[in-house]
Amino acid sequence: MVDSIGVAVIGAGMAGKAHMAAWRNAPSLFAPTLPPVRLVSVGDVDEPLAAAASRRFGYERHDTDWRAIAAADDVDVVSVVVANRLHREVVEGLLAAGKHVLCEKPLADSLDDARAMADAARASVATGVLGRVGFTYRRAPGLAAIRELVQDGTLGRVLHVAGRYWTDYGASPDVPSSWRFTGIPGTGALADVGSHLAYVAEFLAGPVASVSGGAFTTAITERPVAAGKVLRGQQAATTGETATVTNDDHATFVARLGDGAAVGTFEVSRVATGHPNGLVVDVLCERGSARWDQERPSEIGLALQSDGPRTGGYRQVVLGPDHPYVAGGMAMDAPGVGWGQNQMFEYQARAFLDEVVGAADALPANATFDDGVHNMEVLDAVVRSAAADGAAQTVRQAVHA
C-alpha cells in the first residue's frame, strides 16, 4: 500500500467544493484506515476563486492551469469538475501523466469525446492508473436500500420507475448566460440533471434498452451576458447585452428498462421555481412500492402488498446502520441521525481511494468510463427521439476498441 495519497481538484465551483470537502473527510469514514491523504491543489482559471477555495478547504496551494497539476509529482488523484466540453482534454492529459481521475458526469459533451476518454481509461489500466466517473446518487443509502429490496425479492420485479429531477437554478430570467445554457438540444437540463436520473433508474431497474417520447422545451430563450465569471444559478453584473439560450430548460422521456418489461417515465427541469434540488424516484414493483426524495434523504417510503388492506399503505422507514453506507460511514452510527447529499460525495471519494490503494473490504467501486459512455448513449437516444417527434430509439451501446 502507498505511503500517502496526494489529491487535487480542478474546478472551484459549487460541485468542485463538494469534491474538495469530500477528499478532506473521506479518510475518516469506514474502515480500515487509509494511508494519509494530502490535500495538495485546487485548480481553476479564476485565480481568486481557486485561492479562496484552497484556503477554505485546507489545500496546500492553488493553480490556474490544469497542466501544472498534471505535471506535479506530489499529486496522485484528481477530481475533474469543469465544463463538460473541457473534460476530454483535461482527463486524457491527466491519465497520460499517470494521475488517477474521478470525472464528474456527464462524461463529456459529445459521444465521440466520451468514447475517446473511455478508450484512454481502458489503456491506462495497464499502467495501474484508474479513470472513474462520479455517479454520486448511487451512494445514497435510500436508493441503495431500495435496490436491495428489489434484489432480495421483498419488492420483487420492477414494473415501473417514475422519476423527476426538478431544479430552479435557471428559473429567473436574470440568471446570466454561461456554458450551461449553450450547446445543442440535450446538453441543457437533460445532460445536467437528466444524466443523474438515467443512471439512478438503471441502478434500480436494469439497463435502458430503448427510449421514446423524447421532448424538449426552452422557456427562457434569452439571458443577459455576465460581465465576469458566473457560477451555477447565481446572478451577477452584466454587460447589457443578451445571449440566446440554445439548449433545453425542460425534457421528458419514456424508457424500457431491464428485460423490457419495466417502463420508466422521466421529467427534468432547470426552471422549476420552488424546487432547488427536487430529485424524486418512485419504484413500483410486483410485491410493493418504494419512494426516495432528495429533500428527505434520511428516509424512504415503503408499501408492501403483504401488509394487507387493513394496515397497508406507505410507511416511513428512517435510514440507519442496517442500511447501505450508514454503518461505519458516519461519526454517529445510530438510527435517526440524518445525513445528506454532501456525504454522497464523501462516500464516492472514499470508494475511489479504496480502489486506488487496493484496500481490503473496499466499498463498491465507482462507475467506469464505459458506464459513463452508456449513460450518454441513453441521453443521445432521448435527443434522437425528440428529433423524430418522440419515436422510439434503441440505445446504442459503446464499442470497445
Any domain includes 9: yes
Name the domain count of the chain. Answer: 2
State the average pLDDT for the chain.
94
Same domain, 117 and 157: no
Count other Cβ atoms within 10 Å, centred on residue 241: 11
The share of the chain scoring above pLDDT 70, in percent, equals: 97
Among 88, 107, 136, the domain boundary falls at 136
**Do 119 and 11 have their domain in common?**
yes
Q: Are residues 281 and 307 in the same domain?
A: yes
279 has a pLDDT exceeding 50: yes
Assigned domain for 400 exists: no
Residue 226 lies in a domain: yes
Mean pLDDT of 364-379: 97
pLDDT band for position 336 (cuts 50, 70, 90): confident
Specify whether 145 is located in the same domain as 121: no
pLDDT at 400: 46
Position 369 in a domain: no
Structural domain contains residue 366: no
User: Is the predicted pLDDT of residue 149 greater than 90, yes or no?
Assistant: yes
362 assigned to some structural domain: no
Residue 391 clears pLDDT 90, i.e. is over it: yes
Q: Structural domain of residue 42, as residue ranges?
A: 5-136
Same domain, 223 and 249: yes
Q: CB of 155 within 8 A of CB of 334?
A: no
Higher pLDDT, 343 or 333: 343
- Between CA 76 and CA 352 the distance in angstroms is 12
Mean pLDDT of 344-352: 96
pLDDT tens-digit readout, 160-215: 999 999 999 999 999 999 889 999 999 999 999 999 999 999 999 999 999 999 99
pLDDT above 70 for 110? yes
Residue 41 has pLDDT above 60, yes or no: yes
Environment class of residue 389 by beta-carbon count within 10 Å: exposed (0-12), middle (13-18) or buried (19+)? exposed
pLDDT surpasses 60 at 401? no
Residues 6+ apart with CB under 8 A from 45: 64, 65
179 and 250 together in one domain:
yes
126 lies in the same domain as 208: no
For 248-269, write each residue's pLDDT tens digit: 999 999 999 988 889 999 999 9
Residues 101 and 149 in one domain: no
> Region 119-125: what's the mean pLDDT?
97
Answer yes or no: is 55 within a domain.
Answer: yes
Confidence (pLDDT) at 340: 83
Span 143-158, average pLDDT: 97
Q: Is residue 388 part of a domain?
A: no
